[in-house]
Structures are given as C-alpha cells and as structure tokens.
Homo-oligomer: A and B are copies of this chain.
Amino acid sequence: MFISKTSEHALRILTYMALNYETQLSARNLFEELQIPKRYLMRLLTDLSKSGFIKATRGRSGGYVFARSLDTIYFSEIIDSVEGLLPFEGCVLGSSVCPVDKPCAMHQIWEKPKQTFLETLKTTTLADLRSGKNIRLQ
C-alpha cells in the first residue's frame, strides 16, 4: 500500500545508484544487490532510461549511469514518472467523495501529514542522500 510496488522498486534502484553514482552498474549488479525479480528489474531499468533518469550503455561492457545531475532529481519526480503524484495529492477518500465545499470525514485527518509528506518529496533530491545532509522533515 501507500506507494505501488513499482515505485518502491524504482526508488530502491535509484537510491542505490545514487550512493554509487561514480560507477556504472549493470542489471546483474543491481539484481545481486537489490533482489528485485531479475526480469522485472530489467524492464524497470529500461523504463527509467526512457524517463531520462538514467542512461543505458548496451553491449558487452554495458550498464547504467545517471543521465542527469543528482541534485536535479527530486523524489516527487520519480514517483510521478512511475505512478503519478495525483493520487497522493487528493484526499484519502478520493476527490469525488471529498468535494471542496463538503469535505469528507477523513479530510482533516489526512491534510497535515499529506502536506508534510509531499513537501518533503518535492524538496528532497537524490543528492541529499549522498551529501549526508539532513533531509528536511517539515
């Protein structure tokens, strides 16, 4: 729950790569480290290439490295590219159930933690993991 398994995998892949961004990593390397189902992992890597986060080198000594600077890749963008951020931005009970003029019972309960979560996602980059800089919490 909370985030899809696919987003979960994507985050694990990219955060691991971020902590080792100097080195090109192959699908095999990542599989050994992350234990994400191999074929699924390979597909996700291709997806992440297409999305422009990483770039692939094919052929015998191929593998993946980041296509962009780490400090430009926000956690929000990663989730957004995989499953979209919209579901996180609406109310827990969905926007149709929770119109602005008559908020649902969960609205207040969810509003604050949601904002905190989204804010952090939108202000934290992969570079923040490396720098050891404390991740901003609110």
Interface SS of chain A: helix
Given known A1-B87, A2-B2, contact A11–B106 (CB-CB < 8 A): yes
A12 at interface, CB cutoff 8 A = yes
A81 to chain B, nearest CB (A): 16
Q: Using a CB–CB distance below 8 Å, which chain A residues touch chain B?
A: 1-4, 8, 11-12, 15, 18, 75, 83, 87-88, 92-94, 97, 104-106, 108-114, 116-117, 120-121, 124, 129, 134-135, 137-138
Give 19 CB contacts A-B under 8 Å. Answer: A1-B83, A1-B88, A2-B87, A8-B93, A11-B93, A11-B105, A11-B106, A12-B97, A18-B105, A105-B129, A108-B135, A108-B137, A109-B117, A109-B137, A112-B116, A112-B120, A112-B138, A113-B113, A113-B116
